[in-house]
């Protein structure tokens, strides 16, 4: 079993591969934003990063959706997959690979992997009887079902009875190896509440599961029996492997696994934890492939406290949201307001708008604006001619700022996005308090130029550090702040960012170059008003 090499200079992470039964919803946007934040943070720290996302396009659910639209499945998939790519562009998601499970290279990888599992003796034919939820693409135990044989995740749909011969994967064989994995690598599943769920599920005894389907055309034929189609989850999880292939290389497992494997982090929602934390490692063990480092299952988003569902009509359209408020606002809200790992709520009027106005327009934006105007007036359009070292260590902003970079890095590493944001806000709020107390306009009138310069430097530098540490979340606002402070950094330039604004330098307090020419002050975030038409 592989151990985690913390010194590795590469970092590969994945979002789930989203079903193309419909256009992206806010849940898919949520995971993808979090993944992009981590990818940006790791790039700034100098890692070579591969962010993988994509679409899961096979199976009965997609087959039926396409048929209901009167389209060929491939034409339907092409349209929806393009919708995902458009949304990621709007949200400034810098993915490196977009894998579609209908890609021809993927079939080669699935076949080769299947062959390995077959040769391990882990596939056999048997009778599959049970209740199937097509929306989950998963068999359900009778005791898991709601009244009227409905799946708890899709209560508007009835499960369907299946009784057919299928090929099974010998999951039960991996019971003790999986238990050993969870014990020897306690960080493999996060957060700990989800780990406990998995431990409890596994301790009940693992059952083999079917990995082929009869009467489903839309998928890859089973290599050993083309009358059956490979189960969509077996196919989809392998999308993470196919995604690693460099363009134009031969689609073999050896090529795919040569550089980036094992994946450092699979980010997923809690509903698909079992697939990633139980089935997936067992499949990899069977094929003799090392296990990824970490699987993290985040919570579910609700809307005004209610489960989001099409039948209730309270689905948030992420495209409408980002069109109305911009990418940074949406990214900030979800990262700041919801503890990653727990369920969280979206409430446009009571939380979304007030929080963005308070944090970004008032606390951060106004602080920069007024400090910059004073610096331009009192210090001739330049950063005051002093350096961070000239400011005494008991200066309240320096005191908070000096270890902020390492605290925030720790929070990002732990996927504690709201803690990272809160820590930065403490510095910003202290900056506002400090400038009010010090009143540099009075110091200036009193002719105390040295004190004016110290106060303004300390505040400008704190705004810079805040912008830097928040740049994985709000890259456009951070760009704007950096430009107004006289830098020409572009936080969206992923090939350069570890050079032009490396974490090792920019995450420290006191690096704002003295006498750097300042830019024109302009608001970095306009106050939001509630749209008259109601919510997004
Ligand atoms: N296709 C599978 C994943 C295969 S990965 C090899 C799938 N796709 S999905 O599109 O249905 O779901 C993708 C993700 O969206 C899941 O991680 C799921 O948890 C997440 N969400 C779905 N609804 C959600 C919310 N209401 N809130 C947050 N995330 C939600 O499952």
Instruction: Report pLDDT digits (tens) over 459-500.
Output: 999 999 999 999 999 999 999 999 999 999 999 999 888 888
Band (pLDDT 50/70/90 cuts) for residue 4 is: low
What is d(CA 218, CA 61) in angstroms, rounded to the nearest whole number? 10
Q: How much is the average pLDDT of 303-330?
A: 86
How many Å lie between the centroid of ligand 1 and the Cα of residue 25? Answer: 9
Give which of 469, 462, 470, 478 is closest to 510, Cα–Cα.
462
Indicate if the pLDDT at residue 129 is higher than 70. Answer: yes
Band (pLDDT 50/70/90 cuts) for residue 64 is: very high
- Residue having the nearest C-alpha atom to atom 6 of ligand 1: 237
Counting every residue written for the chain, the total comes to 536
pLDDT of residue 115: 98
Indicate if the pLDDT at residue 310 is higher than 90. Answer: no
User: Is the distance from the beta carbon of residue 274 to the nearest atom of ligand 1 less than 6 Å?
Assistant: no
Q: How much is the average pLDDT of 491-510?
A: 93
What is the percent of the chain where pLDDT is above 70? 97
pLDDT of residue 306: 80
Helical (H) or strand (E) element with 272: none
pLDDT of residue 433: 98
Indicate if the pLDDT at residue 311 is higher than 70. Answer: no
Indicate if the pLDDT at residue 138 is higher than 80. Answer: yes
366 within 8 A of 356, measured Cβ to Cβ: no
Indicate if the pLDDT at residue 154 is higher than 90. Answer: no
User: Is the distance from the beta carbon of residue 301 to the nearest atom of ligand 1 less than 6 Å?
Assistant: yes
79-88, 127-136, 279-288: range with lowest mean pLDDT: 127-136
Closest atom of ligand 1 to 56 CA is 1
**CB neighbourhood size of 109 (10 A):** 24
User: Is the distance from the beta carbon of residue 18 to the nearest atom of ligand 1 less than 6 Å?
Assistant: yes
Spatial CB neighbours of 495, under 8 Å, sequence gap ≥ 6:
none
User: Is the distance from the beta carbon of residue 22 to the nearest atom of ligand 1 less than 6 Å?
Assistant: no
Indicate if the pLDDT at residue 3 is higher than 90. Answer: no
How many Å lie between the centroid of ligand 1 and the Cα of residue 307? Answer: 14
Local structure of 387: helix, strand or coil: coil
Closest atom of ligand 1 to 240 CA is 6
Q: How much is the average pLDDT of 44-71?
A: 96
C-alpha Rg value of the chain to the nearest Å: 26
Closest atom of ligand 1 to 270 CA is 19
Eight-state DSSP code of residue 162: E
Local structure of 169: helix, strand or coil: strand
Pocket test for ligand 1, best of 13, 15, 16 (most atoms within 8 A of CB): 16
Indicate if the pLDDT at residue 57 is higher than 70. Answer: yes
Band (pLDDT 50/70/90 cuts) for residue 2 is: very low
- Residue having the nearest C-alpha atom to atom 30 of ligand 1: 27
- 227: Cα within 13 Å, side-chain hemisphere: 5
534 burial via Cβ count (<10 Å: 0-12, 13-18, 19+): exposed
Q: How much is the average pLDDT of 350-375?
A: 97
User: Is the distance from the beta carbon of residue 303 to the nearest atom of ligand 1 less than 6 Å?
Assistant: no
What is d(CA 157, CA 151) in angstroms, rounded to the nearest whole number? 7
This prediction's pTM: 0.96
**CB neighbourhood size of 250 (10 A):** 10
185 burial via Cβ count (<10 Å: 0-12, 13-18, 19+): middle
pLDDT of residue 6: 57
Pocket test for ligand 1, best of 13, 18, 238 (most atoms within 8 A of CB): 18
Q: Give residue-wise pLDDT tens across range 210-235.
A: 999 998 999 999 999 999 999 999 99
What is d(CA 20, CA 89) in angstroms, rounded to the nearest whole number? 17
User: Is the distance from the beta carbon of residue 365 to the nearest atom of ligand 1 less than 6 Å?
Assistant: no
Local structure of 121: helix, strand or coil: coil
User: Is the distance from the beta carbon of residue 353 to the nearest atom of ligand 1 less than 6 Å?
Assistant: no
- Residue having the nearest C-alpha atom to atom 17 of ligand 1: 269
pLDDT of residue 203: 97
Band (pLDDT 50/70/90 cuts) for residue 305 is: confident
120 burial via Cβ count (<10 Å: 0-12, 13-18, 19+): middle
Local structure of 32: helix, strand or coil: helix
pLDDT of residue 1: 41
- Residue having the nearest C-alpha atom to atom 16 of ligand 1: 269
239: tokens are 């999308």
Spatial CB neighbours of 376, under 8 Å, sequence gap ≥ 6:
518, 521
361 within 8 A of 325, measured Cβ to Cβ: no
Closest atom of ligand 1 to 269 CA is 19
Indicate if the pLDDT at residue 309 is higher than 90. Answer: no
Concatenating the DSSP letter of every residue in 488-514 gives ---TT-TTTHHHHT-HHHHTSTT-SPT
How many Å lie between the centroid of ligand 1 and the Cα of residue 250? Answer: 30
pLDDT of residue 499: 86
Share the mean pLDDT of the chain. 94
Give which of 195, 387, 423 is closest to 295, Cα–Cα.
195
Indicate if the pLDDT at residue 535 is higher than 60. Answer: no
Helical (H) or strand (E) element with 295: strand 295-298
pLDDT of residue 312: 67
Q: How much is the average pLDDT of 96-107?
A: 98
Indicate if the pLDDT at residue 534 is higher than 60. Answer: no
User: Is the distance from the beta carbon of residue 28 to the nearest atom of ligand 1 less than 6 Å?
Assistant: yes
Q: Give residue-wise pLDDT tens across range 230-269.
A: 999 999 999 999 999 999 999 999 999 999 999 999 999 9
Indicate if the pLDDT at residue 135 is higher than 80. Answer: yes
Closest atom of ligand 1 to 271 CA is 19
Q: How much is the average pLDDT of 164-171?
A: 96
Q: How much is the average pLDDT of 494-507?
A: 92
Concatenating the DSSP letter of every residue in 457-490 gives HHHHHHHHHHHHHHTTT-HHHHHHHHHHTT----
């Amino acid at each position: 079993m592989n151990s985690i090499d913390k010194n590795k200079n590469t970092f590969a992470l994945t979002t789930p591969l989203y079903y193309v039964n419909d256009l992206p919803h806010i849940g898919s946007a949520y995971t993808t934003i979090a993944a992009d934040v981590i990818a940006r943070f790791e790039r700034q720290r100098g890692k070579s990063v591969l962010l993988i996302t994509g679409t899961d396009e096979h199976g009965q659910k997609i087959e039926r959706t396409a048929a209901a639209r009167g389209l060929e499945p491939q034409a339907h998939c092409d349209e929806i997959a393009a919708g995902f790519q458009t949304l990621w562009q709007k949200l400034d998601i810098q993915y490196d690979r977009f894998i579609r499970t209908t890609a021809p290279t993927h079939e080669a990888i699935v076949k080769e992997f299947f062959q390995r599992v077959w040769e391990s003796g882990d596939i056999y034919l048997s009778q599959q009887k049970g209740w199937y939820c097509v929306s989950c693409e998963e068999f359900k135990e009778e005791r898991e079902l709601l009244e009227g044989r409905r799946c708890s995740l899709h209560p508007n749909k009835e499960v369907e009875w299946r009784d057919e011969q299928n090929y099974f994967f010998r999951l039960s064989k991996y019971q003790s190896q999986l238990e050993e994995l969870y014990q020897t690598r306690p960080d493999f599943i996060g957060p700990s509440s989800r780990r406990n769920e998995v431990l409890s599920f596994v301790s009940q005894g693992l059952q083999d599961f079917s990995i082929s389907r009869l009467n489903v055309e839309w998928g890859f034929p089973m290599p050993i029996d083309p009358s059956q189609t490979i189960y969509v989850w077996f196919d989809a999880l392998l999308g993470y492997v196919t995604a690693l292939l460099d363009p134009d290389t031969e689609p073999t497992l050896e090529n795919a696994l040569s550089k980036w494997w094992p994946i450092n982090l699979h980010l997923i929602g809690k509903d698909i934890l079992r697939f990633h934390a139980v089935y997936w490692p067992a499949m990899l063990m069977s094929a003799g492939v090392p296990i990824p480092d970490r699987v993290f299952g985040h919570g579910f988003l609700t809307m005004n406290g209610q489960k989001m569902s099409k039948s209730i009509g309270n689905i948030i359209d992420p495209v409408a949201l980002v069109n109305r408020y911009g990418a940074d606002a949406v990214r900030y809200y979800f990262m700041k307001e919801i503890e990653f790992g727990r369920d969280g709520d979206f409430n446009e009027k009571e939380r979304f708008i007030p929080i963005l106005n308070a944090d970004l327009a008032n606390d951060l934006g106004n602080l920069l604006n007024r400090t910059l105007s004073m610096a331009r007036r009192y210090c001739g359009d330049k950063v005051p001619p002093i350096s961070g070292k000239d400011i005494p260590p008991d200066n309240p902003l320096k005191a908070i700022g000096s270890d902020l970079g390492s605290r925030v890095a720790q929070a990002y590493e732990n996927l504690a996005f709201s803690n990272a944001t809160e820590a930065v806000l403490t510095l910003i709020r202290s900056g506002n308090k400090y400038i009010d107390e010090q009143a540099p306009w009075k110091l200036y009138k009193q002719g105390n130029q040295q004190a004016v310069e110290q106060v303004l430097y300390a505040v400008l530098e704190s705004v810079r550090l805040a912008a830097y540490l928040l740049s994985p979340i709000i890259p456009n606002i951070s760009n704007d702040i950096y430009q107004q402070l006289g830098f020409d950094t572009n936080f969206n330039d992923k090939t350069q960012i570890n050079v032009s604004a490396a974490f090792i330098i920019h995450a420290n307090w006191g690096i704002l170059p003295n006498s750097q020419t300042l830019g024109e002050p302009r608001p970095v975030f306009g106050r939001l008003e509630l749209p008259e038409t109601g919510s997004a």
